[in-house]
Amino acid sequence: MPVFRHTYLGRLDSRTKLRQHAIYSFFLKSVLLKLHLETISMKPIILSILTSLLAIPAHAATYTYDFTAAFESRSGTNAASTIVDTAAGFSTLSGTLVLDDTLVSAAATSATYGPASITINEFAIGAAGTLDGTRVDNIGGFDQFVGLNDVPSDGQYYDRISFIIRDSTAAAFSSTVFPNPLVLADFDAPTMLFTSSTTASARERIDFRFTDLTVRAPSAVPLPAGLPLLLGGMGLLALVRRRKSS
């Protein structure tokens, strides 16, 4: 039996982003209250800067997971040398999975989020590891988190990597909110898929089962772009007031 291990090093959900935005708002409002402007004409400038700054939305976060996976099954056949053939040379794989929690679209039972990427330590996968996005399905009969990688129509050659992390008991998700963090033990079918094709009758696939999925600390949320401008303006006002008082 694989040993599932999860280490949660950081959390940056929507509530945290709202708290950060509230802190910025409180700071800026406090600054405005404490500024004793002697020139009334300067107030619209400051208010314009504050309005622009507060209108900036919270930045999306990316999450990097380190993973290991073990060979599970292979199906299909293809005479060409493909990514499936390369992966078949390994009984275990390791690498990273990078996810983006930017909401792209939402429906009643599913939501699609920003692009993702997979890297494999054992061999280079190139563009095959670039995913179009991820999708949370909270359907009722099962829950799953899917890595989306568009596949061309039959007859075209392709190598693709994706993943389907599924819970057949439908207990993993209570909504379509971006899962943060992903806890491997919550799923009974956490699968990474390698697929290849040259024609409609020459498709093959190999599955690896995730045995470890460990999230790193989320990427830092950058300061709002308007904050340096505000601070610079405050410094200039202070200099003007100092010259007037002297």
158 contacts 133 by C-beta, under 8 angstroms: no
Which of 19-28, 86-95, 209-218 has the largest mean confidence?
Answer: 86-95
Asked if pLDDT for residue 75 goes beyond 80, the answer is yes
- The answer to whether residue 177 scores a pLDDT higher than 50 is yes
Residues whose CB is less than 8 angstroms from the CB of residue 214 and which lie 6 or more positions away in sequence, other chains included: 5, 6, 7, 65, 66, 67
CB 117 within 8 A of CB 131: yes
Q: Percentage helix, strand, coil, to 5, in the chain?
A: 25, 35, 40
Q: How many angstroms separate the CA atoms of 221 and 60, rounded?
A: 8
What the block records as the tokens of 106 is: 């939402």
**Burial tier of 240 (Cβ tally within 10 Å: 0-12, 13-18, 19+):** middle
Asked if 136 and 167 touch (Cβ cutoff 8 Å), the reply is no
Cβ contact 25:206 at 8 Å: no
Give the pLDDT band (50/70/90) at residue 28. low
pLDDT of residue 80: 78
Distance linking the first and last C-alpha atoms of the chain: 78
* 76-103: pLDDT as tens digits: 887 778 899 999 999 999 999 999 999 9
Query: Of 163, 92, 146, 144, which Cα lies nearest the Cα of 122?
Result: 92
Cis peptide before 181 (omega within 30 of 0): yes
Distances in Å between the Cα of 26 and the Cα atoms of 13, 33, 46, 210, 230 are 20, 11, 15, 44, 14
